[in-house]
Each structure stands twice: as structure tokens, then as C-alpha cells.
């Protein structure tokens, strides 16, 4: 069985695993206060050229989103997101569990638009309506599309207009930054928003994300919030060690992995296109959504493991194919050959 199920179907990239092994017998203090977390934080600050950034190592994406949102919002405030945004759509109401609404707007190619923010703001009137105070987007989006610098800037401008905090969910940030369509650097990301995270789980780590807070006000007692939201790892250094491995050096491993994930996905995309396959959305990253006849999908499922994403009209469906750090050219060829036979 070949997996295009997700970018988290294997363990850690070998270099990350090696780092965990090399440091395994060291003793350090717990809860993310140790030399590895300190060093990894310094690496992040250097990478984004922001010596004033606060860096927290978080156990996972949902925990990262929820802790950031619950920490930043006052009780009567809400976060604006695309209805397809992960924090709304795939986190089982974890944001609302902390007492806050996710004010939704329809997405366009997976992206929240400035008009969507205007729409959300139009629901806000006075003390009878909760007050939007933050904008949440995912870069890349949940369907693999990427905000351009101009789009990010337009959202940032709306945030400034309305006094909204701008937060970017970067579960697959590496993929966004290294794809062909990318016109934004990580430094620019850090300039545009108030907080974002660099996803490790989907880019070579066993688990863990690096949350970067650029706005001092958002960092107040943040470690209290991490603990309260159940995200403080006893052996906190584990995430620091992994991010040292992922982001250290001149040519950070995380971006090399992301680039390779994108390239393998491109091979798939190009191969399928040549076979006449159409796609849902226009993802340039490591998730693609080809539309295939249902009978083909049924046959493919014998040898390949992937999600059937959505109905796509008469006898066809979009499937989601995701490439990970361990996806090989052979995996891609096997899939393309089988589609060729079936189509």
C-alpha cells in the first residue's frame, strides 16, 4: 500500500530522528526551559531577522491555534476565519470550547478575502454583537493554495483598518514558502502579521510547531496559557531539539523537505494533467485535489491510501493526494501508471 494520505503518515525525517537520539541521554530541566529550546528560539529569531520575537514550542497545530486565540481575545471577542479554515472546520469546536466564536466568511479558492473580513465586520454593531478582534488564515490554505504577498498585505491592511490581530496558521508554512508560486519570504511573513507558526509535524518532525509572537502584548503570561490549555510538554526540549535540526544551518532542513514535498506533488500534478485529469482548486503545494471517476478511485484504493475529498459531479470525485518527506518518485510513478491503466 502506497500512502498519499497525509504528510504525517511516517515518523520523523532521519536527520530529526538522529538529533533526538544524539541528545536523548542529556539531562535538562522540563517544560521548554532548556538550552535546546533556547537555541532553537534563537535560530528562529535569526531566520526571521527579528531579535525581539517571542518563540514558543507547541505540541501540535490545534493546540497552537487555540492557545494563541484564547490568549489574545477578551471574552466577548471573536476570530474571523474562512469557513474552510482549519480552526473552524477541523478542530471539533476547540476554539468555541474556550468561549469564543469563529466568525466565518466564505472562502475564495480556499482563501479568506478582504471582502470576507468586511462581511464579518458587518455583523458587528454594538454591545449586542460579539466583537471581531483577530483574523486567522492558513498559509498555505487547507486546499493547498497560497496567498500572494499582495493578498497578505491586503488582509494586513484590513486588520489595521479595524484594529484586528493578524494570525497565520503555518502548519505547512514550509510548503508555501518553497513552492513555485511563492513571492513571500519568512521575513516578510513575520513583518505582515502579529503571530504565526512554523509547522513541524507536517514537515519532518515527529510532532511540534514553533509559534512566533511578534506583538509583545500577545506574549503576556503566554506560558500560563500553554499550561492551562494542556499543551506544556514535560520533556519540552524534544520540540526544541527537533527545530534545531529543522531550522539550523545555512540551508535549513525544513525548507529542503518542504521543497521536495512540493516537487513530488508537482510530478503527480503534471503527470495527471498530461492524462487529462482536472483539479479542484489550484494548489501549487504538496496537497493536490485531482478529480477522478469514482470507478477509477475504487480501483486505486486497492493499492493506494488517500482521502476521497468531495463529490465533483456525475460519477466523479475529487481526491486529496498529499506528499510527505518520505514520498518517492517511485510512489508517484506507480500512481500515474495505475491511473493511466484505469482511465
Q: How far apart are CA 315 and CA 179, in angstroms?
A: 32
CA 203 to chain centre: 10
Q: Are 132 and 118 in contact (CB under 8 A)?
A: no
**Which residue lies nearer to a second copy by CB, 22 or 270?**
22
Among 52, 163, 217, 221, binds a second copy (CB under 8 A): 221
Q: What is the closest distance, in whole angstroms, from the C-beta atom of residue 185 to a second copy in the complex? A: 27
Contact letters for a second copy, residues 238-257 (x by CB under 8 A): x-------------------
Among 319, 326, 335, 339, binds a second copy (CB under 8 A): 326
Distance CA 100, CA 296 (A): 43
User: Closest approach of Cβ 230 to a second copy, in Å?
Assistant: 4
Q: How many CB atoms lie within 10 A of CB 204?
A: 30
Nearer to a second copy, 43 or 87 (CB): 87
Rule CB under 8 A: say whether 30 interacts with a second copy.
yes
- Residue among 63 and 184 whose Cβ is closer to a second copy: 63
CA atoms within 13 A on the CB side of 40: 30
Largest CA distance in the chain: 62
Q: Could you give the string, one character per residue 58-97, with x where binding to a second copy holds by CB under 8 A and - elsewhere? A: -xxxxx--xx--xx--xxx-x----------xxxxxx-xx
Give the interface segment with a second copy, choosing from 11-19, 150-158, 160-168, 190-198 (CB under 8 A): 11-19
Three-state DSSP state, 56: strand
Q: Does 308 bind a second copy (CB under 8 A)?
A: no
The secondary element (H helix, E strand) that includes residue 201 is none
Question: Looking only at residues 98 through 127 of this chain, which bind a second copy when binding is defined by CB under 8 A?
Answer: 98-102, 104, 123, 127
For a second copy, give the closer residue by CB, 184 or 201: 201
CB atoms within 10 A of CB 267: 17
- Binding window for a second copy (CB under 8 A); candidates: 28-36, 145-153, 182-190, 293-301: 28-36
Nearer to a second copy, 126 or 314 (CB): 126
Of residues 113, 141, 229, 285, which one binds a second copy by CB under 8 A?
Answer: 229
Q: Tell the smallest beta-carbon distance from residue 30 to a second copy (Å).
A: 5
The SS3 call for residue 308 is: strand
Q: Name which of residues 255 to 294 contact a second copy (CB under 8 A).
A: none
Min dist. Cβ of residue 227 to a second copy (A): 4
Nine-digit cell at 135? Answer: 483574523
| Minimum CB distance to a second copy, residue 250 (Å) | 26
Q: Rounded to an integer, what is the distance from CA 217 to the centroid of its chain?
A: 24
DSSP label of 34: S
Compare residues 203 and 277 and give the one whose CB is closer to a second copy: 203
What is the rounded CA–CA span in Å between residue 150 and residue 191? Answer: 13
How many angstroms separate the Cα of 320 from the Cα of each of 18, 142, 158, 336?
A: 31, 11, 32, 15
Q: Which of 160, 223, 298, 340 binds a second copy (CB under 8 A)?
A: 223
Q: Binding to a second copy by residue 11, rule CB under 8 A?
A: yes
All cell numbers assigned to 236: 519540552
Is residue 281 packed enough to be buried (19+ CB in 10 Å), middle (13-18) or exposed (0-12)? middle
| C-beta of 76 vs 329, nearer to a second copy | 76
In the chain, the N- to C-terminal Cα span, in Å, equals 20
# of chain residues touching a second copy (CB under 8 A): 76
Amino acid at each position: 500500500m502506497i500512502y498519499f494520505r497525509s504528510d504525517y503518515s511516517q515518523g520523523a525525517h532521519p536527520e530529526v530522528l538522529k538529533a533526538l537520539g544524539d541528545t536523548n541521554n542529556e539531562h535538562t530541566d522540563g517544560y521548554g526551559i532548556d538550552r535546546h529550546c533556547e537555541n532553537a528560539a534563537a535560530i528562529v529569531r535569526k531566520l526571521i531577522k527579528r531579535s525581539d520575537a517571542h518563540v514558543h514550542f507547541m505540541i501540535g497545530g490545534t493546540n497552537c491555534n487555540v492557545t494563541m486565540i484564547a490568549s489574545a481575545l477578551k471574552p466577548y471577542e471573536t476570530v474571523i476565519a474562512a469557513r474552510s479554515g482549519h480552526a473552524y472546520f477541523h478542530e471539533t469546536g476547540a476554539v468555541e470550547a474556550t468561549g469564543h466564536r469563529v466568525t466565518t466568511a466564505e472562502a475564495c479558492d480556499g482563501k479568506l478575502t478582504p471582502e470576507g473580513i468586511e462581511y464579518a465586520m458587518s455583523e458587528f454593531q454594538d454591545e449586542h454583537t460579539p466583537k471581531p478582534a483577530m483574523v486567522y488564515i492558513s498559509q498555505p490554505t487547507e486546499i493547498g493554495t497560497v496567498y500572494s504577498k499582495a493578498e497578505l498585505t491586503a488582509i494586513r491592511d484590513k486588520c489595521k483598518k479595524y484594529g484586528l490581530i493578524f494570525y497565520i496558521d503555518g502548519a505547512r508554512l514550509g510548503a508555501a514558502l518553497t513552492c513555485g508560486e511563492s513571492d513571500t519570504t519568512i521575513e516578510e511573513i513575520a513583518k505582515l502579521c502579529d503571530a504565526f507558526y512554523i509547522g513541524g509535524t507536517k514537515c519532518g518532525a515527529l510532532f511540534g510547531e514553533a509559534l512566533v509572537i511578534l506583538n509583545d502584548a500577545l506574549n503576556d503570561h503566554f506560558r500560563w496559557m500553554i499550561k492551562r490549555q494542556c499543551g506544556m510538554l514535560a520533556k519540552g526540549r524534544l520540540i526544541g531539539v527537533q527545530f534545531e535540526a529543522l531550522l539550523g544551518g545555512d540551508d535549513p532542513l525544513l525548507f529542503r523537505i518542504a521543497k521536495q514535498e512540493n516537487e513530488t506533488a508537482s510530478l503527480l500534478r503534471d503527470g495527471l494533467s498530461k492524462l487529462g485529469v482536472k483539479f479542484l482548486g489550484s494548489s501549487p503545494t504538496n496537497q493536490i485535489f485531482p478529480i477522478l471517476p469514482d470507478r477509477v478511485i475504487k480501483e486505486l484504493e486497492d493499492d493506494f491510501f488517500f482521502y476521497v475529498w468531495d463529490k465533483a459531479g456525475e460519477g466523479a470525485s475529487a481526491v486529496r493526494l498529499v506528499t510527505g518527506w518520505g514520498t518517492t518518485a517511485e510512489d508517484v510513478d506507480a500512481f500515474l501508471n495505475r491511473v493511466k491503466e484505469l482511465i
